[in-house]
Amino acid sequence: MALSTVDRSAGIAVLARHEVRDLPRYQSGAPSPDILARWKIAELARLASNENLIGPSPRVREALLAILDDVHRYPDPNCTDLRIELAARHRVPPERIVVGNGSEDIIEMLCKAFLSATDRVVTLAPAFGLHEIFPRMMGAEVHKVPVTSAWQFDVPAISAALERPAKMLLLSTPSNPVGCELSDADVQRLDAACRAETIFVLDEAYHEYSGDDRGADRRATLESMDRPWIVLRTLSKAYGLAGLRVGYGIASDAEVVALLDRVRTPFNVNLAAQVAAIAALRDESHLRAVVAATGSERTWMMASLGRLQREVPALQVAASAANFLFIDTGRNGKAVARQLATDGVVVKPWMDTGFANCIRVTVGPRSANERFVRHFGDIVRRPAS
Ligand SMILES: Cc1ncc(COP(=O)(O)O)c(C=O)c1O
């Protein structure tokens, strides 16, 4: 349809693909303009985006200073050094590594490369927004399987959903927003439930926080699978590089990466992101410090919320293996988040159907966590309006 023949009163949206017109917006968790107008950034307790509570390794700063005279050059389109670094860590050839402008870039590439309007994707409810938005952008049907009442993956229900043909199984573990984990046995059961044509995608954005070896066990199971699969990781969370945007995938074989290469933008990972990622990966003691600090803050928050729960039994907090907690507040989550924001505490209310009472709160530094617990306590002790 030519623009001149478009009925202007219907708006430009009529020119867009209907999948795009109907697409839900991603809720970024960024503070709203009215909150920013009221508070200085430094005064906000920013607990909505699962950012790192300490920040990146000091080596990242050095790496960034060293490239300041090179920014007029395009970055390496193949992320050669970074892929070599990652390949050595994960004991795979570099051809099996894909790097993205954040791991969300790789989720988008996967959807562009593999999904079309006749395809079906199975994922979780509640889900990370982009696990639904990118498949729907391609016109695929998204089947969301709710977690159990104990906030765990419902493996039998996911297996049942996989009985109908699905092009992709897309799960995060630890899951965002709940924080539950898939065991190695779960992965084996899900593999057995998938048809031959199902691509198995495990989004492990929070893997480093989980503090056990399940990731390694799962990798061994994935390696034994007779299907395409990919594990996604990010430098945004435990490595503290959210602002630079770099994530990666370890794929079952080089052919998956070659297909993703066809749909990715050629210079998708900028120079700063490439050098910072290498520096961050090499500082393992900083990573250990971040994971330990997050673990002890998570324990502190769980204990504080446990005490609050004795006063307010309607509260439910899911056990989490990640740097956030998912809380059923027993009242409208959006209203709770709005009230917290007036006190400068930014958390993320959840929008998935059936989870409207829930909020997700990042495990931040102690001062922010204390502010959250104090104000949240004040809100939920009052009768719901
Ligand atoms: C489960 C999950 N996957 C992927 C991402 C995207 O991370 P990034 O694009 O910053 O690597 C996030 C970010 O919050 C996430 O929670």
Task: For residue 292, name the pLDDT band (cuts at 50, 70, 90).
Answer: very high
Compute the Cα dihedral for 31, 33, 38, 39 and give only its sign.
Answer: positive
The one-character DSSP state at 47 is -
Nearest CA to ligand 1 atom 9: 102
Query: Taking 70 as the threshold, does the pLDDT of residue 125 lie above it?
Result: yes
The rounded Å distance from CA 234 to ligand 1 centre is: 7
Axis crossing angle, helix 254-263 with helix 103-114, rounded to the nearest 10 = 90
Tokens (6 digits) for 134: 């990118």
Residue 220, domain CATH: 3.40.640.10
Residues having CB within 6 Å of any atom of ligand 1: 50, 102-104, 128, 172, 176, 203, 205, 234, 236, 242, 247
Ligand 1 centroid – CA 203 distance (Å):
8
Residues 329 and 275 occupy one common structural domain: no
Asked, for residue 7, whether it belongs to a domain, the answer is no
pLDDT of residue 214: 58
CA pseudo-torsion sign 13, 17, 19, 24: negative
Are 261 and 333 found together in one domain?
Answer: no
Which residues, 6+ apart, have CB-to-CB distance to 375 below 8 Å? Answer: 339, 340, 343, 345
Q: Are residues 126 and 156 in the same domain?
A: yes
Query: Rounded to an integer, what distance in angstroms lies between the CA atom of residue 106 and that of residue 99?
Result: 7
Q: Is residue 89 part of a domain?
A: yes
Bridge partners (DSSP) of residue 120 are 141
One domain for residues 129 and 276: yes
| Ramachandran angles phi, psi of 239, nearest 5° | -90, -10
Is the residue at 85 inside a domain?
Answer: yes
Same domain (yes/no): 216, 136: yes
Q: Which of 103, 134, 153 to mutate to test the pocket of ligand 1 (most atoms within 8 A of CB)?
A: 103
Dump pLDDT digits (tens) for 235-259: 999 999 999 999 999 999 999 999 9
Ligand 1 atom 6 nearest Cα? 104
Statement to judge: residues 238 and 318 lie in one domain: no
Q: Whose alpha carbon is nearest atom 2 of ligand 1?
A: 205
Cis peptide before 228 (omega within 30 of 0): no
Residue 52: inside a domain? no
Our count of domains for the chain comes to: 2
Residues 6+ apart with CB under 8 A from 144: 123, 124, 125, 127, 132, 352
Q: What is the pLDDT of residue 7?
A: 66
Question: Does residue 62 share a domain with residue 28?
Answer: no
Q: Pick the atom of ligand 1 nearest to 247's CA.
A: 11
Residues of the domain holding 195: 58-282
Q: Please report, for the domain that includes residue 315, its CATH number.
A: 3.90.1150.10
* Ligand 1, atom nearest to 101 Cα: 9
Query: Per-residue pLDDT for 4 more than 70?
Result: no
Query: Do 265 and 200 share a structural domain?
Result: yes
In terms of residues, how long is the chain? 385
Exposed/middle/buried for residue 319 (C-beta within 10 Å: 0-12, 13-18, 19+): middle
Q: What is the DSSP secondary-structure string of 14-41?
A: GGS-HHHHTPPPP---PPPHHHHHHS-G
Same domain for 65 and 168, yes or no, is yes
Considering the domain architecture, whether residues 327 and 197 belong to the same structural domain is answered as no
Which of 242, 262, 282 is the endpoint of a domain?
Answer: 282
Ligand 1 centre to CA of 3 (Å) is 37
- For residue range 104-118, list pLDDT tens digits in order: 999 999 999 999 999
Q: Which two tokens stand for residue 113?
A: 């490369």
DSSP result, 266-314:
TT-S-HHHHHHHHHHHH-HHHHHHHHHHHHHHHHHHHHHHHHHHHH-TT
Q: Is 65 exposed, middle or buried (0-12, 13-18, 19+ CB in 10 A)?
A: exposed
Ligand 1 centre and the CA of 150: distance in Å? 24
> What is this structure's pTM?
0.95
Residue 33's pLDDT band, with cuts at 50, 70 and 90, is confident
Q: Which of 282, 312, 335 is the last residue of a domain?
A: 282
Rounded distance from Cα 242 to ligand 1 centre (Å) = 9
For the chain, the C-alpha Rg in angstroms (whole number) is: 21
Among 234, 244, 270, 361, residue to substitute to test ligand 1 (most atoms within 8 Å of Cβ): 234
| Ligand 1 centroid, distance to 6 Cα (angstroms) | 38
201 by DSSP, 3-state: which?
A: strand
Residues 250 and 187 placed together within one structural domain of the fold: yes
E strand segments, the chain: 45-46, 97-100, 120-125, 141-146, 168-172, 199-203, 229-234, 247-251, 316-317, 324-328, 345-346, 348-349, 358-362
- Last-in-domain residue among 236, 265, 282: 282
Q: Which residues does residue 169 pair with via DSSP β-bridges, in sequence order?
A: 122, 200
Asked whether residue 254 falls in the same domain as residue 313, the answer is: no
Residue 145 within a domain: yes
100 CA → ligand 1 middle, Å = 11
